[in-house]
Structure 1
Amino acid sequence: MSGADPYALFDAWFGLAQGSEPNDPNAMALATATSVGMPSVRMVLLKGHGPSESGAGGFTFFTNAHSRKGEEIRANCQAALLFHWKSLRRQIRIEGPLTEVTPQRADAYFHSRPFKSQVGSAASDQSRPMPDRQSYLDRVAALTAQYEAAGAVPRPAHWTGFTLAPQRIEFWMDRDNRLHDRRLFTLEGAADALKWTDTLLYP
Protein backbone atom coordinates (compact mmCIF):
# COMPACT_ATOMS: atom_id res chain seq x y z
CA MET A 1 0.00 0.00 0.00
CA SER A 2 2.41 2.64 -1.23
CA GLY A 3 1.73 6.36 -1.74
CA ALA A 4 1.03 9.25 0.64
CA ASP A 5 -2.18 10.57 -0.99
CA PRO A 6 -5.35 8.81 0.25
CA TYR A 7 -7.34 9.95 -2.79
CA ALA A 8 -4.76 8.46 -5.16
CA LEU A 9 -4.83 5.23 -3.20
CA PHE A 10 -8.64 5.25 -3.21
CA ASP A 11 -8.64 5.75 -6.98
CA ALA A 12 -6.29 2.79 -7.43
CA TRP A 13 -8.43 0.48 -5.31
CA PHE A 14 -11.68 1.77 -6.79
CA GLY A 15 -10.28 1.15 -10.26
CA LEU A 16 -9.55 -2.46 -9.32
CA ALA A 17 -13.09 -2.84 -7.97
CA GLN A 18 -14.61 -1.43 -11.15
CA GLY A 19 -12.70 -4.04 -13.11
CA SER A 20 -13.57 -7.00 -10.89
CA GLU A 21 -16.86 -6.43 -9.04
CA PRO A 22 -19.79 -7.58 -11.22
CA ASN A 23 -22.46 -5.48 -9.49
CA ASP A 24 -22.25 -1.92 -8.14
CA PRO A 25 -18.55 -1.51 -7.31
CA ASN A 26 -19.54 1.99 -6.09
CA ALA A 27 -21.83 0.58 -3.38
CA MET A 28 -20.94 1.74 0.12
CA ALA A 29 -22.44 1.38 3.57
CA LEU A 30 -23.48 4.72 5.05
CA ALA A 31 -23.72 4.92 8.84
CA THR A 32 -25.56 7.84 10.43
CA ALA A 33 -26.87 8.50 13.92
CA THR A 34 -29.58 10.48 15.65
CA SER A 35 -28.85 13.49 17.84
CA VAL A 36 -28.62 11.13 20.83
CA GLY A 37 -26.30 8.71 19.07
CA MET A 38 -28.69 5.92 17.98
CA PRO A 39 -26.99 4.51 14.86
CA SER A 40 -28.37 3.11 11.62
CA VAL A 41 -26.70 1.90 8.43
CA ARG A 42 -27.72 1.23 4.83
CA MET A 43 -26.18 0.84 1.38
CA VAL A 44 -25.98 3.82 -0.99
CA LEU A 45 -24.06 4.51 -4.19
CA LEU A 46 -21.01 6.73 -4.52
CA LYS A 47 -21.70 9.34 -7.21
CA GLY A 48 -18.62 11.55 -6.98
CA HIS A 49 -15.36 11.79 -5.10
CA GLY A 50 -12.05 13.58 -5.04
CA PRO A 51 -10.05 16.31 -3.31
CA SER A 52 -11.07 19.95 -3.29
CA GLU A 53 -8.77 22.93 -3.61
CA SER A 54 -8.37 22.89 0.17
CA GLY A 55 -7.25 19.28 0.02
CA ALA A 56 -10.21 17.89 1.96
CA GLY A 57 -12.69 17.11 -0.82
CA GLY A 58 -15.23 14.41 -0.22
CA PHE A 59 -17.42 11.48 -1.22
CA THR A 60 -20.89 12.27 -2.56
CA PHE A 61 -24.18 10.37 -2.64
CA PHE A 62 -27.77 11.43 -3.33
CA THR A 63 -30.95 10.72 -1.40
CA ASN A 64 -34.35 11.92 -0.24
CA ALA A 65 -33.68 14.32 2.64
CA HIS A 66 -37.05 13.37 4.19
CA SER A 67 -35.85 9.77 4.59
CA ARG A 68 -34.58 8.37 7.87
CA LYS A 69 -30.99 8.95 6.86
CA GLY A 70 -31.82 12.47 5.70
CA GLU A 71 -33.41 13.33 9.03
CA GLU A 72 -30.47 11.86 10.93
CA ILE A 73 -28.02 13.86 8.81
CA ARG A 74 -29.91 17.05 9.63
CA ALA A 75 -29.74 16.23 13.33
CA ASN A 76 -26.17 14.94 13.42
CA CYS A 77 -23.86 15.65 10.48
CA GLN A 78 -21.18 13.13 11.53
CA ALA A 79 -21.21 9.95 9.44
CA ALA A 80 -19.11 7.04 8.23
CA LEU A 81 -18.75 5.15 4.96
CA LEU A 82 -17.53 1.63 4.31
CA PHE A 83 -16.53 0.12 0.97
CA HIS A 84 -16.18 -3.67 1.07
CA TRP A 85 -15.00 -5.46 -2.06
CA LYS A 86 -15.15 -9.09 -1.02
CA SER A 87 -13.59 -10.49 -4.20
CA LEU A 88 -10.60 -8.16 -3.70
CA ARG A 89 -10.48 -8.85 0.04
CA ARG A 90 -10.22 -5.11 0.69
CA GLN A 91 -12.12 -2.49 2.65
CA ILE A 92 -11.98 1.29 2.96
CA ARG A 93 -13.42 3.08 6.00
CA ILE A 94 -14.11 6.83 5.82
CA GLU A 95 -15.32 9.14 8.60
CA GLY A 96 -16.23 12.82 8.72
CA PRO A 97 -19.01 15.43 8.57
CA LEU A 98 -21.63 15.67 5.83
CA THR A 99 -22.68 18.83 3.99
CA GLU A 100 -25.44 19.25 1.42
CA VAL A 101 -24.54 19.73 -2.24
CA THR A 102 -25.68 22.82 -4.11
CA PRO A 103 -29.14 22.83 -5.74
CA GLN A 104 -27.39 23.08 -9.11
CA ARG A 105 -25.43 19.90 -8.48
CA ALA A 106 -28.54 18.10 -7.23
CA ASP A 107 -30.45 19.22 -10.34
CA ALA A 108 -27.67 18.07 -12.66
CA TYR A 109 -27.46 14.61 -11.14
CA PHE A 110 -31.23 14.13 -10.79
CA HIS A 111 -31.77 14.89 -14.46
CA SER A 112 -28.88 12.66 -15.53
CA ARG A 113 -30.87 9.68 -14.23
CA PRO A 114 -33.24 7.68 -16.45
CA PHE A 115 -36.75 9.13 -16.67
CA LYS A 116 -38.27 6.18 -14.80
CA SER A 117 -35.80 6.63 -11.96
CA GLN A 118 -36.74 10.32 -11.73
CA VAL A 119 -40.40 9.32 -11.53
CA GLY A 120 -39.77 6.68 -8.89
CA SER A 121 -37.86 9.10 -6.68
CA ALA A 122 -40.39 11.92 -7.05
CA ALA A 123 -43.27 9.57 -6.24
CA SER A 124 -41.70 8.13 -3.09
CA ASP A 125 -42.13 9.39 0.48
CA GLN A 126 -38.99 7.48 1.35
CA SER A 127 -38.99 5.74 4.75
CA ARG A 128 -42.59 6.86 5.46
CA PRO A 129 -45.39 4.30 6.10
CA MET A 130 -47.10 3.17 2.88
CA PRO A 131 -50.73 1.94 3.02
CA ASP A 132 -50.21 -0.52 0.18
CA ARG A 133 -47.91 -0.91 -2.82
CA GLN A 134 -50.64 0.06 -5.26
CA SER A 135 -50.75 3.57 -3.74
CA TYR A 136 -47.13 4.06 -4.74
CA LEU A 137 -47.65 2.56 -8.20
CA ASP A 138 -50.59 4.91 -8.74
CA ARG A 139 -48.33 7.89 -7.96
CA VAL A 140 -45.74 6.54 -10.38
CA ALA A 141 -48.36 6.19 -13.09
CA ALA A 142 -49.71 9.69 -12.51
CA LEU A 143 -46.27 11.31 -12.67
CA THR A 144 -45.36 9.27 -15.74
CA ALA A 145 -48.46 10.51 -17.54
CA GLN A 146 -47.81 14.09 -16.44
CA TYR A 147 -44.16 14.33 -17.47
CA GLU A 148 -43.56 11.63 -20.08
CA ALA A 149 -43.88 14.06 -22.98
CA ALA A 150 -41.25 16.33 -21.42
CA GLY A 151 -38.98 13.37 -20.66
CA ALA A 152 -37.97 14.81 -17.28
CA VAL A 153 -39.47 15.38 -13.85
CA PRO A 154 -38.82 18.52 -11.78
CA ARG A 155 -36.45 17.63 -8.96
CA PRO A 156 -38.29 17.63 -5.62
CA ALA A 157 -36.71 20.17 -3.27
CA HIS A 158 -36.14 17.46 -0.67
CA TRP A 159 -34.24 15.21 -3.11
CA THR A 160 -30.63 16.23 -2.76
CA GLY A 161 -27.08 15.07 -2.21
CA PHE A 162 -24.55 15.08 0.59
CA THR A 163 -20.77 15.07 0.57
CA LEU A 164 -18.76 13.48 3.36
CA ALA A 165 -15.56 15.46 3.95
CA PRO A 166 -13.16 12.80 5.28
CA GLN A 167 -11.20 13.34 8.43
CA ARG A 168 -10.10 9.71 8.61
CA ILE A 169 -9.61 7.21 5.76
CA GLU A 170 -8.48 3.68 6.57
CA PHE A 171 -7.38 1.16 3.96
CA TRP A 172 -7.66 -2.50 4.97
CA MET A 173 -6.22 -5.41 2.99
CA ASP A 174 -6.70 -9.05 3.91
CA ARG A 175 -3.61 -11.16 4.54
CA ASP A 176 -3.17 -14.84 5.38
CA ASN A 177 -3.58 -15.87 9.01
CA ARG A 178 -5.30 -12.54 9.75
CA LEU A 179 -2.02 -10.64 9.48
CA HIS A 180 -3.93 -7.87 7.70
CA ASP A 181 -2.52 -4.60 6.36
CA ARG A 182 -4.14 -1.46 7.80
CA ARG A 183 -3.15 2.09 6.90
CA LEU A 184 -4.86 5.11 8.42
CA PHE A 185 -4.83 8.62 6.94
CA THR A 186 -5.88 11.45 9.25
CA LEU A 187 -6.54 15.04 8.17
CA GLU A 188 -4.83 17.45 10.55
CA GLY A 189 -3.93 21.12 10.82
CA ALA A 190 -5.66 24.48 10.63
CA ALA A 191 -8.44 25.06 8.13
CA ASP A 192 -6.11 26.93 5.78
CA ALA A 193 -3.28 24.39 6.10
CA LEU A 194 -4.82 20.93 6.20
CA LYS A 195 -2.46 18.01 5.75
CA TRP A 196 -2.84 14.26 5.56
CA THR A 197 -0.75 12.22 7.96
CA ASP A 198 -0.65 8.46 7.80
CA THR A 199 0.32 5.57 10.00
CA LEU A 200 0.14 1.80 10.02
CA LEU A 201 -2.20 0.05 12.46
CA TYR A 202 -1.94 -3.36 14.05
CA PRO A 203 -4.49 -5.74 12.52
Structure 2
Amino acid sequence: MTGRDGIFAGEDPFQLAQSWLDEAAKTEVNDANAIALATVDADGLPDVRTVLLKAIEADAFVFYTNYESAKGRQLTAHPQAAFVMHWKSLRRQIRVRGHVAPESAAASDAYFATRALQSRIGAWASQQSRPLESREVLMERVATFGAEFGENPPRPEYWGGFRITPLQIEFWADGAFRLHDRFQWARESLGAPWNVKRLYP
Protein backbone atom coordinates (compact mmCIF):
# COMPACT_ATOMS: atom_id res chain seq x y z
CA MET A 1 0.00 0.00 0.00
CA THR A 2 3.06 2.23 -0.39
CA GLY A 3 2.13 5.69 -1.55
CA ARG A 4 -1.60 5.47 -0.81
CA ASP A 5 -1.86 9.00 0.47
CA GLY A 6 -3.18 12.27 -0.88
CA ILE A 7 -6.19 11.68 -3.11
CA PHE A 8 -5.98 7.90 -2.45
CA ALA A 9 -5.94 8.14 1.35
CA GLY A 10 -8.68 6.58 3.46
CA GLU A 11 -9.89 3.28 4.90
CA ASP A 12 -13.34 3.18 3.29
CA PRO A 13 -13.60 2.92 -0.51
CA PHE A 14 -17.17 4.20 -0.56
CA GLN A 15 -16.21 7.36 1.31
CA LEU A 16 -13.25 7.76 -1.02
CA ALA A 17 -15.49 7.37 -4.07
CA GLN A 18 -17.90 9.94 -2.66
CA SER A 19 -15.07 12.41 -2.06
CA TRP A 20 -13.88 12.01 -5.66
CA LEU A 21 -17.43 12.48 -6.96
CA ASP A 22 -17.93 15.58 -4.79
CA GLU A 23 -14.72 17.05 -6.18
CA ALA A 24 -15.69 16.20 -9.75
CA ALA A 25 -19.07 17.90 -9.31
CA LYS A 26 -17.20 21.20 -8.97
CA THR A 27 -15.28 20.82 -12.23
CA GLU A 28 -17.23 18.66 -14.68
CA VAL A 29 -19.40 20.63 -17.10
CA ASN A 30 -22.23 18.08 -17.16
CA ASP A 31 -23.26 15.00 -15.18
CA ALA A 32 -20.28 14.31 -12.93
CA ASN A 33 -22.27 11.27 -11.73
CA ALA A 34 -22.44 9.65 -15.20
CA ILE A 35 -21.27 6.04 -15.30
CA ALA A 36 -20.75 3.66 -18.22
CA LEU A 37 -22.64 0.57 -17.05
CA ALA A 38 -21.75 -2.84 -18.50
CA THR A 39 -24.03 -5.90 -18.47
CA VAL A 40 -24.37 -9.09 -20.52
CA ASP A 41 -27.34 -10.37 -22.50
CA ALA A 42 -28.78 -13.89 -22.64
CA ASP A 43 -26.02 -14.97 -25.03
CA GLY A 44 -23.25 -13.52 -22.87
CA LEU A 45 -22.69 -10.64 -25.31
CA PRO A 46 -21.53 -7.50 -23.44
CA ASP A 47 -23.67 -4.37 -23.50
CA VAL A 48 -22.81 -0.91 -22.19
CA ARG A 49 -24.59 2.42 -21.81
CA THR A 50 -24.35 5.63 -19.79
CA VAL A 51 -26.62 6.06 -16.77
CA LEU A 52 -26.58 8.44 -13.82
CA LEU A 53 -25.38 7.20 -10.44
CA LYS A 54 -27.80 8.50 -7.84
CA ALA A 55 -26.26 7.40 -4.54
CA ILE A 56 -23.09 6.05 -3.00
CA GLU A 57 -24.18 4.28 0.16
CA ALA A 58 -22.27 2.51 2.93
CA ASP A 59 -21.80 -0.65 0.86
CA ALA A 60 -23.39 -0.07 -2.55
CA PHE A 61 -23.74 2.16 -5.61
CA VAL A 62 -27.33 2.93 -6.65
CA PHE A 63 -28.94 3.96 -9.94
CA TYR A 64 -32.51 3.92 -11.25
CA THR A 65 -34.06 2.70 -14.49
CA ASN A 66 -36.94 0.93 -16.19
CA TYR A 67 -36.79 -2.71 -15.06
CA GLU A 68 -38.25 -3.76 -18.43
CA SER A 69 -35.51 -2.00 -20.42
CA ALA A 70 -32.67 -3.98 -21.99
CA LYS A 71 -30.38 -3.30 -19.04
CA GLY A 72 -33.15 -4.04 -16.55
CA ARG A 73 -33.86 -7.42 -18.12
CA GLN A 74 -30.16 -8.23 -18.39
CA LEU A 75 -29.50 -7.37 -14.76
CA THR A 76 -32.49 -9.41 -13.61
CA ALA A 77 -31.29 -12.45 -15.56
CA HIS A 78 -27.58 -11.99 -14.78
CA PRO A 79 -27.25 -9.92 -11.58
CA GLN A 80 -23.63 -8.89 -12.00
CA ALA A 81 -22.37 -5.66 -13.52
CA ALA A 82 -19.42 -3.36 -13.92
CA PHE A 83 -19.14 0.37 -14.45
CA VAL A 84 -16.55 3.06 -14.95
CA MET A 85 -16.89 6.69 -13.88
CA HIS A 86 -14.40 8.93 -15.70
CA TRP A 87 -13.69 12.61 -15.13
CA LYS A 88 -11.61 14.36 -17.79
CA SER A 89 -11.35 17.53 -15.71
CA LEU A 90 -9.67 15.64 -12.85
CA ARG A 91 -7.97 13.01 -15.01
CA ARG A 92 -9.32 10.31 -12.73
CA GLN A 93 -11.62 7.33 -12.94
CA ILE A 94 -13.24 4.72 -10.72
CA ARG A 95 -13.97 1.18 -11.90
CA VAL A 96 -16.44 -1.07 -10.06
CA ARG A 97 -17.39 -4.76 -10.47
CA GLY A 98 -19.89 -6.61 -8.35
CA HIS A 99 -23.28 -8.11 -7.63
CA VAL A 100 -26.60 -6.44 -8.40
CA ALA A 101 -29.92 -6.48 -6.55
CA PRO A 102 -33.10 -4.41 -6.90
CA GLU A 103 -33.46 -1.40 -4.63
CA SER A 104 -36.33 -1.54 -2.14
CA ALA A 105 -39.75 -0.31 -3.23
CA ALA A 106 -39.71 2.29 -0.45
CA ALA A 107 -36.37 3.73 -1.56
CA SER A 108 -37.49 3.72 -5.20
CA ASP A 109 -40.72 5.50 -4.23
CA ALA A 110 -38.78 8.12 -2.29
CA TYR A 111 -36.37 8.83 -5.12
CA PHE A 112 -39.12 8.85 -7.76
CA ALA A 113 -40.96 11.54 -5.80
CA THR A 114 -37.92 13.85 -6.05
CA ARG A 115 -37.80 13.74 -9.86
CA ALA A 116 -39.15 16.54 -12.03
CA LEU A 117 -42.80 16.10 -12.98
CA GLN A 118 -42.04 15.61 -16.67
CA SER A 119 -39.44 12.96 -15.81
CA ARG A 120 -42.02 11.09 -13.75
CA ILE A 121 -44.53 11.28 -16.62
CA GLY A 122 -41.77 10.18 -18.98
CA ALA A 123 -41.22 7.04 -16.91
CA TRP A 124 -44.80 6.07 -17.67
CA ALA A 125 -44.70 7.12 -21.33
CA SER A 126 -41.47 5.42 -22.36
CA GLN A 127 -41.44 1.69 -23.08
CA GLN A 128 -37.69 1.85 -22.79
CA SER A 129 -35.53 -0.10 -25.29
CA ARG A 130 -38.54 -1.25 -27.32
CA PRO A 131 -39.27 -0.14 -30.93
CA LEU A 132 -40.95 3.28 -31.29
CA GLU A 133 -42.97 4.04 -34.42
CA SER A 134 -42.37 7.79 -34.29
CA ARG A 135 -41.56 10.71 -31.99
CA GLU A 136 -45.21 11.73 -32.27
CA VAL A 137 -46.34 8.47 -30.69
CA LEU A 138 -44.06 9.09 -27.70
CA MET A 139 -45.36 12.63 -27.22
CA GLU A 140 -48.94 11.39 -27.45
CA ARG A 141 -48.19 8.93 -24.64
CA VAL A 142 -46.66 11.75 -22.59
CA ALA A 143 -49.83 13.81 -23.06
CA THR A 144 -52.07 10.85 -22.20
CA PHE A 145 -50.29 9.98 -18.96
CA GLY A 146 -49.92 13.64 -18.05
CA ALA A 147 -53.68 14.08 -18.30
CA GLU A 148 -54.31 10.88 -16.35
CA PHE A 149 -51.96 11.56 -13.42
CA GLY A 150 -51.80 15.34 -13.22
CA GLU A 151 -49.28 16.72 -10.75
CA ASN A 152 -48.68 13.55 -8.73
CA PRO A 153 -47.93 10.49 -10.86
CA PRO A 154 -47.14 7.37 -8.81
CA ARG A 155 -44.04 5.29 -9.49
CA PRO A 156 -44.65 2.58 -12.10
CA GLU A 157 -44.05 -0.91 -10.73
CA TYR A 158 -41.63 -1.53 -13.59
CA TRP A 159 -39.42 1.43 -12.64
CA GLY A 160 -36.98 1.51 -9.73
CA GLY A 161 -33.44 1.21 -8.48
CA PHE A 162 -30.61 -1.26 -8.67
CA ARG A 163 -27.87 -1.62 -6.07
CA ILE A 164 -24.39 -2.65 -7.17
CA THR A 165 -22.50 -4.16 -4.23
CA PRO A 166 -18.88 -4.42 -5.35
CA LEU A 167 -16.23 -7.07 -5.04
CA GLN A 168 -13.71 -4.76 -6.70
CA ILE A 169 -13.26 -0.99 -6.76
CA GLU A 170 -10.32 0.55 -8.56
CA PHE A 171 -9.18 4.16 -8.21
CA TRP A 172 -7.08 5.50 -11.11
CA ALA A 173 -5.33 8.84 -11.55
CA ASP A 174 -3.48 10.04 -14.61
CA GLY A 175 0.31 10.23 -14.41
CA ALA A 176 2.96 11.81 -16.61
CA PHE A 177 4.17 9.67 -19.51
CA ARG A 178 1.32 7.20 -18.83
CA LEU A 179 2.83 6.21 -15.49
CA HIS A 180 -0.56 6.31 -13.82
CA ASP A 181 -1.45 5.56 -10.20
CA ARG A 182 -3.86 2.64 -9.67
CA PHE A 183 -5.11 1.18 -6.42
CA GLN A 184 -7.48 -1.79 -6.39
CA TRP A 185 -9.72 -2.60 -3.43
CA ALA A 186 -10.84 -6.24 -3.65
CA ARG A 187 -12.62 -8.73 -1.40
CA GLU A 188 -13.44 -12.40 -1.83
CA SER A 189 -17.10 -12.08 -0.92
CA LEU A 190 -19.64 -9.50 0.19
CA GLY A 191 -18.95 -8.48 3.77
CA ALA A 192 -15.37 -9.78 3.68
CA PRO A 193 -12.51 -7.41 4.51
CA TRP A 194 -10.96 -5.36 1.72
CA ASN A 195 -7.49 -6.02 0.41
CA VAL A 196 -5.84 -2.97 -1.17
CA LYS A 197 -2.96 -3.22 -3.63
CA ARG A 198 -1.19 -0.94 -6.04
CA LEU A 199 -1.36 -2.03 -9.70
CA TYR A 200 1.04 -1.38 -12.53
CA PRO A 201 -0.28 1.34 -14.84
Runs of 4+ in structure 1 over 4 Å off: none
Q: Which residue of 1 aligns with 2:101?
A: 99
One-letter amino acid of the counterpart of residue 159, structure 2: W
Q: Which residue of 2 aligns with 1:202?
A: 200
Map Cα deviations across residues 166-197 of structure 1 (whole Å, 9 max, x no partner): 110000100000000000001236x6x62111
User: Which residue of structure 2 aligns with residue 86 of structure 1?
Assistant: 88
CA distance in 1 between partners of 2:83 and 2:90 (Å): 18
Asked if 1 retains the 8 angstrom alpha-carbon contact of 2:186 and 2:195, the reply is yes
Distance of 2:43 and 2:145 partners within structure 1: 38
Whole-Å separation in 2 of the counterparts to 1:139 and 1:20 = 37
Residue of structure 2 in register with 1:54 after alignment: none
| TM-score for both structures, normalised by structure 2 | 0.93
Q: Distance in 2 between matches of 1:173 and 1:180?
A: 6
Tell me, in whole angstroms, the C-alpha distance in 2 between the residues paired with 1:29 and 1:141: 31
Q: After superposition, what is the alpha-carbon deviation per residue over 1:136-182, rounded to whole angstroms, capped at 9, x for unaligned?
A: 1001011112222xx11121111011000011000010000000000
State the distance in 1 between where 2:115 and 2:19 align: 26
Shift of 1:66: 0.7
Q: Residues 184 and 200 of structure 1 are in contact (CA less than 8 Å); yes or no, is this contact kept in structure 2? A: yes
Q: What's the counterpart of residue 38 of structure 1?
A: 45
Question: What percent of counterpart residues are identical?
Answer: 44
User: Any unmatched runs of 5+ in structure 1?
Assistant: 52-56
Aligned residues: 194
Structure 2 distance, partners of 1:117, 1:137, is 13
Question: What is the deviation of 1:109?
Answer: 1.0
Query: What is the match of residue 166 of structure 1?
Result: 166
* TM-score, with length taken from structure 1: 0.92
Residue equivalent to 1:154: 154
Q: Which residue of 1 aligns with 2:146?
A: 144
Note the 1:1-203 alignment, pairs <5 A.
Answer: 1-51=8-58, 57-148=59-150, 151-188=151-188, 194-203=192-201
Q: Could you list the per-position Cα deviations for residues 85-115 of structure 1 after superposition, in whole angstroms to 9, with x for gaps in the alignment?
A: 0111001000001100111111111111111
Question: Tell me, which stretches of 5 or more residues in structure 2 are unaligned?
Answer: 1-7
Distance 1:22 1:133 in 2: 28
